[in-house]
Structure 1
Amino acid sequence: MTTDVNAAFTQEKEDQIEAVREEARAFQERIDRGEIAPIGDDRYRVLTGWDAGETFSVQRNTEGRIEQILAQHGLDTTTGGAALYTTTPAWHGLGAVIPGGITDIDEVLKLARIDWEVSKRPVLYEWDGGIRDAVDRYVTVRTDGGAALGTVGDRYEVFQNRRVFEFLQDLAQRYDVVWESAGALREGRKVFVTMRIPHSLVIDRGGLDDEIVLYLAAINSHDGTSSAESVVTPWRIACGNTERFATRDAVHRWGIRHTKGGLTALEEARRTLGLTLDYAKAFEAEENTLVRTDLLIDDFHKLIDGLWTVDEDAKDRARSFAQQRHDELEGMFHDEARRLGRTAYAAERTITDYLDHRMGVVPRNLGEDLARAQRSLEGTNDDLKSKAHRKLLFLAR
């Protein structure tokens, strides 16, 4: 068979161009449906679905048409390479990939390019030809290159990366687990490590066989905007988006404030996180209880009414919105019931999916501060998820 390389090349390029055009059309359709919102400078944020909170930038041609859609990984690249170690190649193809993983924290920190420290330096400013010291204001600075990470107050205590993460090392040794990923985001303002919990949760073994793989993630910040925390989550962190998803979908979390007394909580954290396996087993047992519990549609309606109460004197608009939410949740429950049966487990999955991915978005202002993104970062739906879980367990028992 004769191959015309020129024709093959032309066809390949035409296919690539059409693929880009199709991607651009699908992207624009999501914008039109309100699933993606512009946040300025050809950057966009996803508002719905599993990737809610993810950000993209687009490259356009001279005619203004989209040529390329680029997801923003957010990884630190100030050292000349992406600050990431992982056992599994990530979607962006960056970082040091070590199949099988490693167990030594020092090696992880080095491979992830987060084996640097942070110091706190006084804020100085120029005035009338001289330099003055801003009282009780400091800049957190990376000691490997002098990059400023944030501005903090006098009481702020720097937590070095190794100090925050090393308390997980004994869990790695005790349970023979490896570090799944580690890295830095936003020029080092946030750093993270994750390890996989050894035993997956299996819901309705032999029946539904829904497997839930959980990870233990520790996240440290250096810019003064958040506490250090550890979360039990289904997400392996490998970029800025999955870091947000990990905190959004956490089933258990623990955090400490950046104060002098904060690090004393590490011992309590070690004890608490040491119970993670027991927690996972208990959670699995509870979910299996929900699988075995049939749920009447009236009970599902009562669950909705108990989670979102409507005052008797509520205005018509509020009542209309509550009815729309009620109808949407009922439709979602029927969809889940086709696969999972009309059970308490299907009801819980419905509530969780609605809170994480379907709840309506109401912008707080005309800028970037979209309500869904803020809700995801703050975890303000956690109480409703816990309340739903407790109510369904009560029905089951």
Structure 2
Amino acid sequence: MRDVNTAFAQEKTGQIDDARAQARAFQDRVDRGEVELVAPDRYRVLTGLDAGEVFTVRRDLEGKVEEILARHGLDTTTGAAALYTTTPAWHGLGAVIPGGTSGIDEVLRLARIDWEVAKKPALFEWDDGVRTAADRFVTVRTDTGDALGTVGERYEVFQNRRVFQFLQDLVDSHDAVWESAGALRGGRKVFVTLRIPRSIVIDRGGLDDEIVLYLAVINAHDGSASAESVVTPWRIVCGNTERFAVRDAPHRWGIRHTRSGLDNLEEARRNLGLTVGYATAFEAEENQLVRTGLLIDDFHHLIDTLWTVDGDASDGVRATARRRHDELDGMFRDQSRHLGRTAYTAERTVTDYLDHHMRVVPRTLGNDLARAQRALEGGNDELKTRAHRQLLLRTR
């Protein structure tokens, strides 16, 4: 006979022990400098690929950690977070497979994105019943029936497996690793990233600043964007997302949702296969920047050319420009203490500002996810490339 009181007590004891273990693990991360307090009960991750992400800690009446609430934005439609990764993320969600797996089908299953999308006529209710909207359709998940977006007649659905399949060749022939995969916003966007085995090392034997290369493919099912493949270098220490700024080196390929759009996958496959060559050129240019000294006045000139202010600008615009100028100046001086006052430090400062400090326009996803998505989708690529090229001119 089962003693329900004993079972209940054992269950609660287990829950309390789990909570205490989580609290101890969290405090250990604070003590190691992996997270920092940014507001009452709000913390920012400082290390790893999750650097810059923010989470909230709920405490009990005694001030002890009771629950960690992640603002991850991952799809949880099927009851668990739609995420596969080789490394545990800061929010502790998803299927973690150390070392990764080699097959696309297994990646899709573990990431919970092995579903398909159908395009159905858009219907609406009117006085005389249900009508069909001319030339309008709804994209629908076939596993749940959830609507993802409204699209036009020419919109072509790209199934997850079809878009991501072309990366399998890189895994098979270049020893690339399936790094992560998942879905955001209920499945409206899905993504897969590969880690390239060859990393970039800036100033080998000196700074030894290592940058790991990733290839990311993003597919939108809500009609908001094309499918895209992106070359994304991530810095191990601070998680910056500077792109390749090598002259004439493409780092992004958009694939429109049209009947002929998937033909571009072959071109994307060819270009992505050249990533290692682009990385070599990028590494050489970054090492040129390391060897080029830069005066404070030169850095100020760089800021002024990246963010120009018209002569008839309002007082508010000028005040914003001054605040941005002062913040960047402080960041450059601070990084110079560790890296030296060089063109490379200037580029690092601009990249860090764009990725982690510049204000994010409020979005329904929330600031943290909007910032991460902007980094992945390259919202500041143009400014980063301009900064890189201007600084590179000083090396010649």
Do the aligned residues in 2 keep the contact of 1:85 with 1:181 (CA within 8 Å)?
yes
1:327 aligns with: 326
**C-alpha separation between the residues in 1 aligned to 2:175 and 2:205?**
28
Match of 2:38 in 1: 30
2:213 equivalent in structure 1: 214
Indicate how the Cα distance of structure 1 residues 364 and 164 shifts in structure 2: closer, same or farther if over 3 A, else same. closer
Give 1:175's aligned residue: 174
Change in CA separation of 1:215 and 1:129 when aligned onto 2, cut-off 3 Å: same
1:36-185 equivalences in 2 (<5 Å):
54=53, 56=55, 68-185=67-184
Show the counterpart of 1:199: 198
Residue 277 of structure 1: CA displacement?
A: 1.1
> Secondary structure of the residue that 2:107 maps to in structure 1?
helix
Please tell me the residue identity of whatever aligns with 1:342.
R
Greater alpha carbon shift after TM alignment, 81-90 vs 273-282 = 81-90
- SS at the partner of 1:295? coil
Is this contact kept in 2: 1:158–1:258, CA < 8 A? yes
2: CA distance between counterparts of 1:357 and 1:263? 34
For the residue of structure 2 that corresponds to 1:121, the secondary structure is: strand
Deviation at 1:17, TM superposition (A): 11
Work out whether residues 364 and 371 of structure 1, in 8 Å CA contact, stay in contact via their aligned partners in 2: no
Structure 1 position 229 matched with structure 2 position 228: yes
1:380 deviation in Å?
3.8
Distance 1:374 1:18, change over 3 A: closer
- 1:39 corresponds to which residue? none
TM-score by length of 1: 0.77
Partner residue in 2 for 1:336: 335
Instruction: Supply the distance in 2 between the matched residues of 1:258 and 1:95 (Cα, whole angstroms).
Output: 29
Which string of whole-angstrom CA distances, capped at 9 and with x for unpartnered residues, describes residues 206-255 of structure 1?
Answer: 0000011121111112122222112222459xxxxxxxx99x75543222
Amino acid at match of 1:228: A
Distance 1:17 1:279, change over 3 A: closer
Deviation of 1:94 (Å): 3.2
Distance 1:86-1:204 versus aligned 2 partners, 3 A rule: same
Mapped contact 1:53–1:376 kept (Cα < 8 A): no
The residue correspondences of 1:256-295 to structure 2 (distance < 5 A) are 256-295=255-294
The alpha carbon displacement at 1:386 in A equals: 0.7
Task: Using structure 2 for the length normalisation, give the TM-score.
Answer: 0.77
CA distance in 2: counterparts of 1:20 and 1:199, whole angstroms: 33
Is the contact made by 1:375 and 1:381 (CA closer than 8 Å) also made in structure 2?
no
Q: What residue ranges of structure 1 are gaps of 5+ in the alignment?
A: 1-7, 37-44, 237-244
Provide the rounded CA distance (Å) in 1 between the counterparts of 2:39 and 2:262: 45
CA distance in 1, matches of 2:163, 2:153: 20
Segments of 5+ residues of structure 2 without an aligned counterpart are 1-12, 30-34, 245-250
Alignment match, 1:310: 309
Tell me, in whole angstroms, the C-alpha distance in 2 between the residues paired with 1:79 and 1:376.
22
